[in-house]
Structure 1
């Protein structure tokens, strides 16, 4: 019974501080990279069913640079498993560049 009260209090505290269900900038970057990466991969191979990012391998870095005139604000590096017909193989490395307002500018996958 005490656990339920603790969990409810924790949930309410999270909502009142704005941290309960909101997405952090890191979560938003990963979500954006995953969704655009999956779409890009599926354009090249229709048998790709999912993209699973290995969160243990992910490195996210704030950036203040440009590619020509396009601002780069975040660089995400890591490993991801590309699922084909529900089966995954070895992880692939990926790079994801995000610009202003979290817009994905590039996703790039390469085998190890």
Structure 2
């Protein structure tokens, strides 16, 4: 899978937050695209933003944004990963968007 990144620095582990986003994203992707085997996060693009805010009464502690790669068809292109984490490292939202 690392060769799919086409030269970008891609890692299995970026941080506990990115690992949590990767795990929740992989579960969601596999439900929609069973052929997806892994999600790789591009270290060069990843941003881990610590925050102390809330949406209504739900605390938001971290937002992870960056490029992610996964096999969905015969071609692989980067997807934008957006992940929102609340208290105790609970992933509240993980989404992937075409660029």
User: With structure 2 as the length reference, what TM-score do the two structures score?
Assistant: 0.80
Deviations 1:43-95 (A, max 9, x none): 1111111111111110011111111111000010000001248x661100010
**Structure 2 CA distance for aligned equivalents of residues 61 and 84 of structure 1:** 28
Unaligned runs of 5+ in 2: 1-13
User: What residue is the counterpart of 2:52 in the other structure?
Assistant: 64
Q: Secondary structure at the match of 1:38?
A: helix
**Structure 1 CA distance for aligned equivalents of residues 83 and 66 of structure 2:** 9
Of the candidates 28, 31, 35, which is equivalent to residue 43 of structure 1?
31
User: What residue is the counterpart of 1:110 in the other structure?
Assistant: 97
User: With structure 1 as the length reference, what TM-score do the two structures score?
Assistant: 0.71
Unaligned runs of 5+ in 1: 1-25
Deviations 1:6-30 (A, max 9, x none): xxxxxxxxxxxxxxxxxxxx61101
Which structure is higher in RCO with an 8 Å CA cutoff and minimum separation 6? Answer: 2
User: What residue is the counterpart of 1:93 in the other structure?
Assistant: 80
Q: How many pairs are equivalent?
A: 86
Greater Rg by CA: 1
Higher strand share: 1
Aligned-residue RMSD, C-alpha? 1.6
Where in structure 1 do 4 or more consecutive aligned residues deviate above 6 Å? none
